[in-house]
Amino acid sequence: MDETPMWFDLPSNTTINQKGAKTVSICTTGHERSLFTVILACMADGTKLPAVCIFKLKNILKEKFPHGIYIRANEKGWVNKQEMLWWVENVWTSRNRFGNPRSMLVLDSFRGHIVNSVKNRFVEKNTNIAVIPGGCTSKLQPLDVAINKSFKSKVKDRYNNWMISNIHTFTPAGKIKRPSYSTVATWVKESWDEVDENLIQRSFKSCGVSTNIDGSEDDCIFDHDSLLNRDNEVLENFDNSTDENYEEEYPEETNYENKWDVKVVVEVGQEEDNDKSESEKEEDDGNYDYQDSDDHGEMRHRLSELKKYIR
């Protein structure tokens, strides 16, 4: 199980323009920083649990959303303790119609996963949780090693098809309106349905999560590079970062112009948001709180060395 931020605008990082141009105009709806959260969960046999979209709203809008996906709303659009408790009851528990068999759930160390109320609820549901240390999800979290990338590339394809279509509505100022909540929910549902079950199975094995204890699948451990290559995924221009690198707080939404200028060969750095005090951060159970430490760096080094011996 993993939560991942998604954007209403997904402009490509490549385009075609006259050689030597100093700026390139890219058409968008101006909502590159308008975010919502998607919760994805799957089983080692390739079974996919229903996706969940959490929008930054006080109440769920009366739009026609697709079947087979859950729509949630809160004022921050984040996963928090309350959303996790809801997810356990409505998504995780529904995976088996005959009760709650003994299971193991792989989670990262995001604070909303490991508060006592959530851990106690997992105990009630006969579930053991395996918490991945910060800095290790790119090697040990099945969703992070390949599944999220495949899913997001499919969502981006749908966004691109939507952008090049001639069927758009416009604001009074002449700007293209961003896709509706029901539209992006449909993209999420269809993209999640299209993720290959075999890719899910191999992702679990590459992270060392297997029911075979005879060592017959040990060759798959840490074999992350071949996962997407074997599926011929077109991800050359896709962001290869993992969700543990996201800021603790989503950036504020800003309305940009439809066309914005991108300077050629300019590196843009992300500044950390240090506005929150330490006491405020402690109060939030559901903010993204991934912090790397020297211990985690050492752990990544050891994993890298271990990978050499396995191969």
* Nearest Cα to Cα of residue 158 among 191, 181, 180, 182: 191
pLDDT for residue 197 is more than 70: yes
Q: For residue range 106-161, what is the model confidence (pLDDT) as tens digits?
A: 999 999 999 999 999 999 999 999 999 888 888 889 999 889 999 999 998 998 88
Domain span at residue 171? 2-310
pLDDT (average), residues 65-89: 94
Give the count of domains, the chain. Answer: 1
Contact yes or no for 154/146 (Cβ under 8 A): no
Angle at 41 between CA 55 and CA 191, to 5 degrees: 65
Q: For residue range 227-257, what is the model confidence (pLDDT) as tens digits?
A: 655 554 444 444 544 555 443 444 443 333 3
Q: Please indicate whether residue 150 or residue 210 has the higher confidence score (pLDDT).
A: 150
> CA–CA separation, 102 vs 100, rounded Å?
7
| pLDDT tier, 172 (very low <50, low <70, confident <90, very high otherwise) | confident
**C-alpha 225: how far from its chain's center?**
19
pLDDT of residue 123: 95
> CA–CA separation, 129 vs 181, rounded Å?
32
